[in-house]
Amino acid sequence: MAANNHYEVLVAGFGPSGAVAAGLLGQRGRKVLCVDRAREVYDKPRAIAVDHEIMRVFQGLGVVERIAEHVAVFPPSEFYGVDGQLIKRIDTVAKPWPLGYMPTMVFTQPPVEAALREHACAYESVEVALGTELVSFEESAQGVSVQLKDDAGNTRTVTCDYLIGCDGASSTVRTQLGIAYEDLVFDEPWLVVDVRVNESGIAKLPKTAIQYCEPSRPCTYIVGPGGHRRWEIMLMPGEDPRDMQSEAQVWKLLSRWLTREDGELWRAASYRFHALVAQEWRRGRVFIAGDAAHQQPPFIGQGMCQGIRDVVNLVWKLDAVMQGEAQPALLDSYGEERGLHVRRLTTRIKEIGKLICERDVAAARERDARLLREAGGEVKTIARQDIVPKLEAGLLVSTQHAANGTLFPQPFVQHADDAALLDLVAGGNWRVVTLGAEPASEAVQLAAKRIGAQIIELAPDGDAHHAAVLPDTHRIVEIDGVLAAWFKRNECCAAIVRPDHYVYGVAADAGALAAALAQLDEALHG
């Protein structure tokens, strides 16, 4: 077969997950082919929420500035019970934000997806074939042979070392592998309505996001960027989903809030909200990610975030194995880590969904009373980001610590005469971050070198001019004390941080740090 028909990675699907996968692989110089049946970005919004972890990914890709204009604050979410009383409130944490960005935001999907696609296409090593679908594939010991077909009916065969199926909920890749879903038992019919609201409409509408936990018709209202407003409305038994998405029915449902004069209907689509997680995420050289691997109800807007987390987790591991920097067994940790994380988060989202979807009036009244009782009679605000779990399996140090598997902070640090976010100054590969020089012994330096980790020393005295004690160490001075507070809270003085910004392990002294690095060296290299 001609050499130009061979790729290191083929990505099936060029939605947000596929575009981020292609961009991350392109950034690492990998030869990639990305195929998608559609030629254009879907022009209606589907995902509406993005969080700080994903903004940090966009920052690492170098696209965060282009995306920022399509992103806005996610206001508090207020839950109202049977009799219209406030029963629960979810909001974001106060500044300084732990990862450098507001923890949760709303965004407009079409232009953001277009920017991610454009970014991926800009890499010389990335080839994109639009109007092209993956028909079938066959794996051998040497790689994967993939049959493609374009929208003119032409077929061709290409080969790749690895195949990633980011090809959506009806994934051809998952279907051909015969991978079954684990059903987390949530199946409800809903109507999702997006409206571009004008000034008269905005004046009538709530300023916060609202969960109407009303048995007669549970409903979610979301404040999007600019004039974009979304309603997720539960359909009742006997209602025909197709009929309910007709314009006449939609405006009837929205009459509680708006009239036709208040805006323009952008999208109305009926869905069944599911909670499904793939039982396997990998078969040999073939992986699934994004909606191909899981579906969750949208109650805290984590759908797109989940898919991007998948490909971020997978790409650095694939690259390390292809580079010869890690043994192939590292790839098993992808499904182990993401499968458990997605299950945990989907279960939490499902519990929120069950609160909202209660149709029995007496049970809903009991729910309202219970929530108020649990809050001590006064509704306390919980942080939306606290709903997202940490990593609890896979490539983590064996010693137990609350910080292991959490996202490492990204504070603002002094840089030249200005302030910059940590990753922009210190890079985003393996890092050993120490509080002062004490834990960074020569043994630690050697161990860090073996895994290709940068040593970053946080100056505890805030002295920017004092040089780092050990050579090849990057000394940083932070501005808001985020990192110093993190070390204090976790009672440690060093952290080993993975390329996806999750904490592999922490240590309280140089000996424990050297031992953790030795364990990591063994896990990566055998």
Q: Are 233 and 255 in contact (CB under 8 A)?
A: no
> Is the same domain home to 33 and 174?
yes
Phi/psi of residue 325, each to 5°?
A: -95, -5
The reported pTM is 0.96
Q: How confident is the model over 468-480, as pLDDT tens digits?
A: 666 678 899 999 9
Over residues 176-189, the mean pLDDT reads: 92
Residue 374 makes CB contacts below 8 A (sequence gap 6+) with: none
- The CATH number of residue 309's host domain is 3.50.50.60
Res 2 pLDDT > 50: no
Any domain includes 362: no
Q: How many CB atoms lie within 10 A of CB 287?
A: 30
Domain count along the chain: 2
Q: Which of 57-66, 91-100, 260-269 has the lowest mean pLDDT?
A: 91-100
Residue 512 makes CB contacts below 8 A (sequence gap 6+) with: 399
Q: Are 427 and 405 in contact (CB under 8 A)?
A: no
Only one residue has tokens 């507070």, namely 485
> Is the same domain home to 334 and 426?
no
> Is the same domain home to 343 and 448?
no
Res 297 pLDDT > 90: no
Q: How confident is the model over 457-508, as pLDDT tens digits?
A: 999 766 666 656 666 788 999 999 999 999 999 999 999 999 999 999 999 9
pLDDT, position 1: 34
Res 358 pLDDT > 70: yes
Domain holding 22, by residue range, is 3-71+106-180+277-353
Beta strand ranges found along 125-208 (DSSP E): 126-130, 132-139, 144-150, 155-165, 181-197
Q: How confident is the model over 390-444, as pLDDT tens digits?
A: 999 999 999 999 999 999 999 999 988 889 999 999 999 999 999 988 888 888 9
Write the single-letter amino acid at 286: V
The percentage of the chain sitting over the pLDDT mark of 90, rounded to a whole number, equals 86
pLDDT, position 470: 64
- The CATH number of residue 485's host domain is 3.40.30.10
> Is the same domain home to 338 and 457?
no
Cα 326 to Cα 99, 494, 523, distances in angstroms: 28, 23, 8
Cα 133 to Cα 34, 201, 202, 285, 367, distances in angstroms: 10, 42, 42, 19, 48
Any domain includes 132: yes
> Is the same domain home to 418 and 496?
yes
DSSP class per residue in 272-340: EEEEEEES-SEETTEEE-GGGTEE---TTS-HHHHHHHHHHHHHHHHHHHHHTSS-GGGGHHHHHHHHH
Q: How confident is the model over 76-113, as pLDDT tens digits?
A: 999 999 999 999 999 988 899 999 999 999 999 999 99
Any domain includes 268: no
Residue where one domain finishes, among candidates 337, 353, 369:
353
CA 135 to chain centre: 28
Is the peptide bond between 499 and the residue preceding it cis, with omega within 30 degrees of 0? no
Any domain includes 93: no
Helix (H) or strand (E) holding 494: strand 494-497
Beta strand ranges found along 52-153 (DSSP E): 71-73, 77-80, 86-91, 104-107, 126-130, 132-139, 144-150
Q: How confident is the model over 124-144, as pLDDT tens digits?
A: 999 999 999 999 999 998 999
> Is the same domain home to 22 and 135?
yes
Over residues 341-345, the mean pLDDT reads: 96
Any domain includes 130: yes
- Look at 385 and 13; give whichever has higher pLDDT: 13
Write the single-letter amino acid at 445: Q
Any domain includes 254: no
Give me the torsion for CA of 479, 484, 486, 491, rounded to 10°.
180
Quote the CA–CA distance of 21 and 429 in Å, as a whole number. 16
Residue where one domain finishes, among candidates 353, 372, 402:
353
Any domain includes 99: no
> Is the same domain home to 327 and 430?
no
Any domain includes 97: no
Tell me the pLDDT band of 384, cut-offs 50, 70 and 90: confident
The mean pLDDT of the chain is: 94
Quote the CA–CA distance of 130 and 127 in Å, as a whole number. 10
Residue where one domain finishes, among candidates 311, 335, 353:
353
DSSP class per residue in 23-72: HHHHHTT--EEEEES-SS--SS----EEEHHHHHHHHHHT-HHHHHTTEE
> Is the same domain home to 485 and 338?
no
